[in-house]
Copies of this chain bind each other. A is one copy, B any other.
């Protein structure tokens, strides 16, 4: 029995394999967790056999590291550039940063890395450390600069910026997590756009100095807006 032309079982695609494997691994790690993910399944989803996986990654743990390392660093760097170049109010910068986050992380599979790192931090302290320093702390600094700018210009009240930033970021992380954990439990799904709009609205109003003009969120983070449910 000869193989049909479309049987790509033996296709040689050295360049494409690593990215396909890490993409498949990310999906399965997020879906099932690190331990519960079988490398046979990762390989199958990437369209190769397990042996091939081991041509590109020396162990399951190395595959995990690659997934985390390669995912978010470019995004962080883009955010840092965006922050440096920004001229305008702190509120607008925060809106842009959140919009940027949504477009390049929140609505992509990369959002799953948050859930993955939360789940596995206990088993991989070294990777958790890397993620903490190179993703969380840098992302935090990004928002921190915006919040301080607002406080110094008199746009925001003076609160501890560290807590303010954590409270700014927490709903974004929760949105990422929700998508991969409980969204499917609910028939009427969470609308991310409206959720982000409300967050920006409440947060910026909560932070703004007495007498400043009320913040309106809808004007920036409103891509593909759908009708409000109920």
Using CB atoms and an 8 Å cutoff, list the residues of chain A in contact with chain B.
30-36, 115, 117-123, 125, 128-129, 132-133, 136, 159-160, 162-164, 166-167, 170-171, 173-174, 177, 180-182, 184-186, 190, 194-195, 198-199, 201-207, 210, 214, 228, 230
Which residue of the partner chain B has the closest CB to A168? Answer: B202
Which residue of the partner chain B has the closest CB to A175? Answer: B170
Min CB gap A179→B, angstroms: 11
Known contacts: A170-B174, A206-B202. The answer to whether A31 contacts B163 by CB under 8 A is no
Min CB gap A66→B, angstroms: 20
Q: Is the beta-carbon distance between A202 and B167 smaller than 8 angstroms?
A: yes
Known contacts: A132-B185, A202-B206, A207-B202. The answer to whether A33 contacts B122 by CB under 8 A is yes
Bound CA span A31–B123, Å: 8
Which residue of the partner chain B has the closest CB to A120? Answer: B33
13 additional A-B residue pairs with CB within 8 Å, beyond A115-B119, A129-B185: A33-B119, A35-B36, A117-B181, A118-B181, A121-B182, A122-B181, A163-B195, A166-B190, A170-B170, A201-B206, A204-B206, A205-B205, A206-B206
Min CB gap A59→B, angstroms: 16
Min CB gap A78→B, angstroms: 23
16 examples of A-B residue contacts, CB within 8 angstroms: A33-B33, A33-B34, A33-B119, A119-B119, A136-B182, A159-B202, A160-B198, A160-B228, A163-B194, A163-B199, A171-B171, A202-B206, A204-B206, A205-B205, A206-B206, A210-B214
